[in-house]
Amino acid sequence: MASIAVIDYDMGNLHSACKGLEKAGATPKITDSPTDIKQADAVVLPGVGSFDPAVQHIRERNLEAPIKEAIASGKPFLGICLGMQILFDRSEEGIEPGLGIVPGVVRRFDSEPGITIPHMGWNQLEFSQPDLPLWQQLSRDPYVYFVHSYYVDPIDLSVTAATVTHGSQKVTVAIAKDNIMAVQFHPEKSSDNGLQILANFVSQVRSKVSV
């Protein structure tokens, strides 16, 4: 069984993500312990809410260094929703510095007539890295579930793994580089497509462990 540390920093419904990981055959553990994070086969950083409180909670719990060490170690890492945004340098939502793991800025959607902010509901992914293991066994341009007013804008566009179109804006909603993967949408709310994505992540963890 793949052991996955699901990081608890008081910013999200961790149990939904854990259920999805359990269905995929993993053993998730909700934790804010640096030791648990170090010993786990993989790490998931979920999150909902605002940027500044998220990074404040991470630093108050002394989790920034363990997160960076886990990524540097090469173990599979998955950020979800706010857990993707805080990997970046900063956000237009607040003033706190992000974790600075992925160079770039988190930006607010532009207001447009007839376009709702937050971007909420089902939308279609457009794959930028179609061969990414995270997308295995998904249909082309699958629908997934979003709730967000801000999107990531990476400096290095090659890290973009998927985009989505909202109004006239096409924005990055998934990134992947080396062992880092992160998605803006909620896999745990995205029905069969979301469960498949979590299962694909677990498969990557198992492959890494068995090497």
pLDDT digit string (tens) for the chain, length 211 residues? 789 999 999 887 788 889 889 988 899 999 999 999 999 999 999 999 999 999 999 999 999 999 999 999 999 999 999 999 999 999 999 999 999 999 999 999 999 898 899 999 999 999 999 999 999 999 989 999 999 999 999 999 999 999 999 999 999 999 999 999 999 999 999 999 999 999 999 999 998 877 6
Q: What is the pLDDT of residue 23?
A: 87
Q: What is the pLDDT of residue 211?
A: 61
Q: Structural domain tally of the chain?
A: 1
Sorted by sequence, the CB contacts under 8 Å of residue 111 that are 6+ apart come out as 117
Q: What is the pLDDT of residue 208?
A: 81
pTM > 0.85: yes
Q: What is the pLDDT of residue 12?
A: 77
In this structure, what are the phi and psi dihedrals at residue 33, rounded to the nearest 5 degrees? Answer: -95, 120
Parent domain of 124: 2-210
Please list the active-site residues. 81, 186, 188
The span from the CA of 86 to the CA of 104, in Å, is 11
Q: What is the CATH number of the domain that holds 134?
A: 3.40.50.880
